[in-house]
C-alpha cells in the first residue's frame, strides 16, 4: 500500500487557515461522553501551551477536572451562592457547568514577578492559552467550549475548589467532550468596520 503523501506547506497552511476561518465552539451543555483520556489530552495541552509566554515565563498552569470532581464543585457553588445571598437563577447558573460537566481544563493565570513583563501581558498570555486549548481540542475532533461563570471569580470558591494561590485567577474553564448535536454558525463581527489602517 503506498505511503500517504505529506501535505505541501501550502496545503498544510491552507488547511489550517480553513480551520481557523470556520472553527466554532460547541455548547458545553451538549457535550457528552466519551471524553479524552490522559494520553489524548496531553497533546491538546501541549498545543495549548505553544503561546507567547515571554521567554519561558509560563505565567499560567492547568488543572484538569475529571467527572468525579464535578459534584463537589457543584455543591461548593451552591454553598457559596447561599453565603452570598444569590437568587435561585444565579445559583443554578453557577452550578450548572459542574452538574453537567464530564471533563474540563481550568486555565489558571499565575503571573510571575518580573521587572520586564507587565502583569497584564502575563494575563493576556493565559487568555491566549484558553483560545489555543479550545482550538486544539476542536482540531483533534472533540467539542470544546470556554466558560467562566461567577464562581470562577469568587475567591472562596476558586481557592477551596481549585486550590488557587492568592495571586492566581481563573482565565477560563474549557469543557471538552464528544459532540452530540450539529452546531450552526452565528453572526460574526464585521472586521472591516472594526479595522483602522494607519499609513503614516
Q: Is 132 annotated as a binding residue?
A: no
First to last CA, the chain: 58
Q: Is 23 annotated as a binding residue?
A: yes
Q: Is 148 annotated as a binding residue?
A: yes
Q: Is 147 annotated as a binding residue?
A: yes
Rounded-to-integer distance, Cα 157 and Cα 72, Å: 11
Q: Is 146 annotated as a binding residue?
A: yes
Reduced to 3 states, what is the DSSP secondary structure of residue 184? coil
Phi–psi pair at 194, nearest 5 degrees:
-100, 0
Q: Is 61 annotated as a binding residue?
A: no
**Inter-residue contact 182 to 143 (CB < 8 Å):** no
**What is the sign of the dihedral through the CA atoms of 49, 51, 53 and 59?**
negative
Q: Is 152 annotated as a binding residue?
A: no
Rounded-to-integer distance, Cα 16 and Cα 181, Å: 24
Q: Is 50 annotated as a binding residue?
A: yes
Residue numbers in the known binding site for FMN are 23-25, 50, 54, 146-148
Residue numbers in the known binding site are 23-25, 50, 54, 146-148
Amino acid at each position: 500500500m503506498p505511503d500517504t503523501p505529506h501535505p505541501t506547506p501550502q496545503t498544510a497552511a491552507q488547511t489550517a487557515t480553513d480551520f481557523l476561518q470556520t472553527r466554532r465552539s460547541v455548547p458545553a451543555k451538549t457535550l457528552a461522553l466519551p471524553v479524552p483520556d490522559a494520553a489524548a489530552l496531553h497533546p491538546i495541552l501541549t498545543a495549548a501551551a505553544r503561546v507567547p509566554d515571554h521567554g519561558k515565563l509560563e505565567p499560567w498552569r492547568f488543572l484538569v477536572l475529571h467527572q468525579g470532581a464535578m459534584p463537589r464543585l457543584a455543591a461548593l457553588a451552591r454553598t457559596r451562592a447561599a453565603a452570598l445571598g444569590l437568587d435561585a437563577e444565579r445559583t443554578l447558573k453557577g452550578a450548572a457547568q459542574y452538574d453537567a460537566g464530564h471533563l474540563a481544563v481550568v486555565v489558571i493565570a499565575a503571573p510571575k514577578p518580573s521587572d520586564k513583563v507587565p502583569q497584564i501581558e502575563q494575563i493576556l498570555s493565559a487568555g491566549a492559552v484558553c483560545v489555543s486549548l479550545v482550538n486544539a481540542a476542536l482540531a483533534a475532533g472533540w467539542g470544546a467550549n470556554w466558560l467562566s461563570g461567577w464562581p470562577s471569580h469568587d475567591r472562596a470558591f476558586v481557592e477551596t475548589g481549585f486550590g488557587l494561590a492568592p495571586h492566581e485567577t481563573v482565565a477560563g474553564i474549557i469543557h471538552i467532550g464528544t459532540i452530540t448535536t450539529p452546531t450552526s454558525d452565528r453572526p460574526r463581527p464585521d472586521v472591516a468596520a472594526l479595522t483602522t489602517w494607519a499609513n503614516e
